[in-house]
């Protein structure tokens, strides 16, 4: 139990650090203490808030075949940035990119889109690393 909690904490710490380094829309004040508190907050969101929101929004989640789970994760990330004010969601001007021959045009991302993308990145990385460590 303690080993699993410590593993989850370290993974959340690494995921938060990685997402803030890769994606400039999610920022923090740069201190390891803030990152450590953010990892603990992310653990609390994953253990308490997200399951509670999944129960509350179960009919909507069933109606959308699970797609509403993304909205729940965005709400949890917004709550994290509200509870821990050193983490901020800021608007981001995406300069555009070309990926595998697909041209992605420049975009002005609002805070809502930043929250959606950051939540997707955190969720994807979290599920991937939990899958890796569960083997």
pLDDT in tens, 68-115: 888 999 999 999 999 999 999 999 999 998 989 899 899 999 999 999
DSSP 8-state assignment for residue 101: T
Q: What is the pLDDT of residue 1?
A: 78
Instruction: Record the pTM.
Output: 0.87
Contacts of residue 74, defined as CB under 8 A and 6 or more positions apart, other chains included, come to: 115, 116, 119
Residues 6+ apart with CB under 8 A from 32: none
């Amino acid at each position: 139990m303690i080993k699993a909690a410590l593993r989850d904490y370290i993974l959340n710490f690494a995921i938060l650090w990685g997402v803030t380094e890769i994606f400039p829309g999610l920022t923090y004040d740069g201190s390891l203490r803030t990152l450590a508190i953010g990892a603990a907050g992310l653990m609390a969101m994953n253990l308490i808030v997200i399951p509670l929101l999944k129960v509350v929004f179960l009919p909507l989640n069933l109606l959308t075949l699970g797609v509403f789970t993304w909205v729940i994760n965005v709400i949890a990330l917004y709550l994290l940035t509200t509870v821990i004010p050193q983490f901020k969601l800021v608007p981001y001007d995406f300069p555009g990119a070309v990926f595998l021959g697909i041209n992605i045009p420049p975009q002005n991302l609002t805070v809502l889109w930043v929250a959606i993308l950051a939540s997707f990145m955190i969720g994807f990385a979290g599920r991937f690393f939990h899958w890796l460590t569960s083997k």
